[in-house]
Amino acid sequence: MKQTLTDRVFATKDSLLNFLTLFSSLGTLLCCALPALLVSIGLGSVMMGLASNVPGLIWFSENKEPVFIFAFVLLALNGYLLWRGRIAVCPTDPHLRNACLKARSTSKSIYFVSVGAFIVGSFYAYLAPLFLV
């Protein structure tokens, strides 16, 4: 059974959305969790070296609200698409069915890693400063 152009486009969009979600969630870690972790274990000089050599790192910290909003929107959209596709029918050909099930499983794994990264980043950005006061 050949894949139609529409199937390939939707598969590409789903893969792209998975990876965009993962990288936007990792942006929340770069914004808030990494600096807090490095400073809390006594590696403030490493953090200063990173901040001076990776200028984008400071941008994430200065613009954490848009980063978190963007990541949340992508997570919500990806979660909806995963939920909607949970009952989608896979092809009857054994090889294609196995590939379909593996892709579905991989998408779920990437999604849950992204949610975990978002939660850790949110904790360090918004909750941890409340405990330090």
State pLDDT tens for residues 23-43: 777 777 777 778 877 877 888
Q: What is the pLDDT of residue 9?
A: 44
Q: What is the pLDDT of residue 6?
A: 45
The per-residue pLDDT for range 84-98, each reduced to its tens digit, is 888 888 888 888 889
Q: What pLDDT band is residue 81 in, cutting at 50, 70 and 90?
A: confident
Q: Count the alpha carbons within 13 Å of 50 in the hemisphere toward its beta carbon.
A: 18
pLDDT > 90 in the chain, percent: 2
- The pTM of the full predicted model, rounded to 2 decimals, is 0.73
Q: What pLDDT band is residue 2 in, cutting at 50, 70 and 90?
A: low
Q: At what angle do helices 94-122 and 5-28 cross, to 10 degrees?
A: 20
Q: What pLDDT band is residue 12 in, cutting at 50, 70 and 90?
A: low
Do the beta carbons of residue 51 and residue 58 sit within 8 Å? yes
Count Cβ neighbours within 10 Å for each residue of 41-77 and write b for 16 or more, e otherwise: eeeeeebeebeeeeeebeebeeebeebbebbeebbee
DSSP state of 93: S
CA distance 99 to 102: 5
Q: What is the pLDDT of residue 121?
A: 85
Calculate the average pLDDT of the chain.
80
> Among 52, 10, 24, which residue's Cα sits nearest to residue 110?
24
CA distance 133 to 127: 11
